Amino acid sequence: YPSGNLAVVVVRHKAQLVCIVQEDKPSKAKIQAVFQSRGRSTCYYPSGTTWINMDPRGGQYFNQQGNRVRRWRWPSTLMPSEPQVPLSPIFISLNQYVGVRILEQDKIIISFLAMGRQVKFNVGTKVQVSSWLRPPTPPGEGELLLLAFRVRILRLLDRLRGCLTFPSTEQWDKIKPPAFLTTETWKILDLCTCPGVSKELRSLVQAIVNA
């Protein structure tokens, strides 16, 4: 960002690449979007609630209250007998500088505009889905909460370690969380998008990891 804060992080997790968009803050920056090379992606409202969730089959669009207002399937996942309904382009602004445009499964564009200059890159990918592939089994409520509190505790310990290393309060806001904590956070938020996870549990987990 023009402020010098990190806007986009690309990490490798196992056999896939993950692109993470963070808000413009020097510390405790919330995750605003996650795009995985295996076709799973999630965008979040500034409040932390899920805005758009996509997987290899299609996507869902939610309002700020967490209610689904739109749903679609990627053309490559439709059977020949199913109607081919084209996806109307979707554009959302994650913040003042970063926007996301969804055109097709393999054309999901992140645009970054600042100081009169613009950068665009494609994070979409074409993923084939086998007809027998079932949606992932959602984790239990207790498991999700334990994972969320674990990340929260690790964040607090990292913050405490930074404060001990840099006693001056002027340095505290400049301390960046380690990359593995950012990765762990998006993994938990991704689990919250599994079918069967309630809106209330999803909001609670988001509040814990983003506190």
The Cβ of residue 36 has, within 10 Å, a number of other Cβ atoms equal to 21
- Is pLDDT at 183 greater than 70 in this prediction? yes
pLDDT at 169: 60
Per residue in 72-121, pLDDT (tens digit) is: 888 877 666 666 666 789 999 999 999 999 999 999 999 999 988 999 98
Question: Does residue 81 sit within a domain?
Answer: yes
Q: What is the mean pLDDT of residues 141-163?
A: 81
Question: Does residue 38 sit within a domain?
Answer: yes
Quick one: pLDDT band at residue 172, thresholds 50, 70, 90? low
Q: What is the rounded distance in angstroms from the CA atom of residue 59 to the CA atom of residue 103?
A: 12
**In the chain, pLDDT over 70 holds for what percent of residues?**
82
Q: With beta carbons less than 8 A apart as the criterion, state whether 39 and 46 touch.
A: no
The Cβ of residue 157 has, within 10 Å, a number of other Cβ atoms equal to 11
Full DSSP string of 71-139? EEE-GGGS-TTS---PPPPEEEESSSSEEEEEEETTEEEEEEEETTEEEEEE--------TTPPPPPPP
- Is pLDDT at 66 greater than 60 in this prediction? yes
Question: Does residue 3 sit within a domain?
Answer: no
Per residue in 108-147, pLDDT (tens digit) is: 999 999 988 999 989 988 776 554 344 555 667 888 888 8
pLDDT at 81: 61
pLDDT at 202: 84
What's the chain's Rg over C-alpha atoms?
Answer: 18
Lowest-confidence range among 18-27, 54-63, 136-145, 193-202? 136-145
pLDDT at 132: 37
- Is pLDDT at 178 greater than 50 in this prediction? yes
Three-state secondary-structure class, residue 58: strand
pLDDT at 99: 95
Question: Does residue 16 sit within a domain?
Answer: yes
Q: What is the count of structural domains for the chain?
A: 1
- pTM (2 d.p.): 0.64
pLDDT at 131: 43
Q: Which of 210, 56, 45 is nearest to 133 (CA)?
A: 56
Question: Does residue 13 sit within a domain?
Answer: yes
Q: With beta carbons less than 8 A apart as the criterion, state whether 113 and 96 touch.
A: no
Q: What is the DSSP letter of 3?
A: T
Per residue in 25-58, pLDDT (tens digit) is: 888 888 999 998 888 899 999 888 889 999 888 8
Q: What is the rounded distance in angstroms from the CA atom of residue 169 to the CA atom of residue 120?
A: 37
pLDDT at 84: 63
Tokens found for residue 125: 């990918």
Question: Does residue 1 sit within a domain?
Answer: no
Domain that holds residue 166: 8-209
Q: What is the rounded distance in angstroms from the CA atom of residue 152 to the CA atom of residue 140?
A: 19
Question: Does residue 192 sit within a domain?
Answer: yes
